[in-house]
A and B are shown apart, each in its own frame.
Chain A
Amino acid sequence: MFVFVGARALDGLAVATNVLVPAIIGDMFVSEQRGAAMSGIFLAPLFGGALGPAIASAVAASAGWRRVV
């Protein structure tokens, strides 16, 4: 149980970086060059949310739902 809760806490740490991403991009790139970097960063979570259920469903169908946490 504590391992599970700890894993959720680590997940929260990773989510925290999503909040800081715009500031990081703004520090590294000048305004004329931020478009591509910001687009790629904000596209990644959308891909994750779109592909995740499909991948999880495929795994659940082939290997069983217990393989998907």
Chain B
Amino acid sequence: MGSATPTRITSDLGMDATADETQPLLLRFKSNTESTESGGVPIAGHHHQAYNTGSCDSAEFDPLGDLDNPLEWPTPFKWGIVTLLAIIAFTVCVPIIINFPFLFFSPIFLFLSRHLNPVPPRIGIGSGPERHPTVRSGPDQPKLPVPMDVMQCNVMRRHDELTGILVVEHLPASGWFPLRQTSGESCRVRLAVACVERAARDHLGARGGGGTAADRAAF
């Protein structure tokens, strides 16, 4: 933050009914001329207006140049941040772990492989690679959980999210807040259930049910 001349501070905050729609609603603007006449200092840069910084939430920068002002950061640095945020958004929304090569040694992978979906016993010798283990039931074999199919899980999750949007979005804005809030809490509970379920089918159901309420944040 710049320690030099701060911008003008006044106390008349509030929304201006005649404010330009391109300006922040919670900050009042005055032109350079008006700001200078009243003793204020206009902000250097692209804006030709001075911020009313009467709120403690407002930042004050040196009008002669301040490296803490994000608007004055170097353009490559700005786009580096944008690229980083885009990579984060992409990685989060990919339904698989992106560092796939390291997954072979991941404790998460080892745990899920051993506990969440036990490998069914092979029948005989030389039955081939067990890429897609199948459920084998019989009088001499224990009942095994159904393996989770990643595509089925993703499709079910997407469908439930879509259902959540179609159902919750059309509810009236007033009076239905408890339901929306309960929906969000249900999402968390179902995700927790999905984490502790040992059987793949239950994990899939809990995961899909959690997706129903996952879009509550959109409201």
Interface residues of A (CB under 8 A from B): 1, 3-5, 7-8, 11, 14-15, 17-19, 21, 24-25, 27-32, 37, 40-41, 43-49, 51-53, 55-57, 59-60, 63-69
Contacts and interface: CB of A to CB of B under 8 A. Distances in A.
Given A41-B89, A65-B148, A1 B196 contact: yes
Nearest to B77: A28
Contacts of B117: 66
Contacts of B96: 52, 55-56, 59, 68-69
- 7 closest A-B pairs by beta carbon, nearest first, are A48-B93, A44-B86, A52-B94, A45-B93, A44-B90, A44-B89, A52-B95
A65 B46 CA distance: 53
B113 interface: yes
Contacts of B107: 3
A27 B81 CA distance: 12
B15 interface: no
Contacts of B217: 19
Contacts of A7: 108
A32 B71 CA distance: 12
Nearest to B155: A53
B85 A51 contact: no
A4 B111 contact: yes
Contact of B111 (A1, A17, A19): A1
B86 A4 contact: no
A30 B48 CA distance: 12
A14 to B, nearest CB: 5
A40 B82 CA distance: 8
Contacts of A31: 22
11 contacts: A8-B195, A17-B88, A19-B217, A29-B71, A45-B92, A46-B93, A49-B94, A56-B95, A60-B149, A60-B151, A65-B149
Contacts of A65: 131-132, 147-150
Contact of B87 (A1, A44, A49, A68): A44
A40 B201 CA distance: 37
Nearest to B130: A64
A28 B73 contact: yes
Contact of A41 (B85, B103, B109, B191): B85
A68 B150 contact: yes
B78 interface: yes
A66 B99 CA distance: 15
Given A1-B196, A56-B96, A65-B150, 16 more contacts: A8-B191, A15-B92, A17-B85, A24-B81, A24-B85, A28-B81, A29-B71, A30-B45, A31-B22, A41-B86, A44-B87, A44-B89, A49-B93, A52-B154, A59-B96, A69-B103
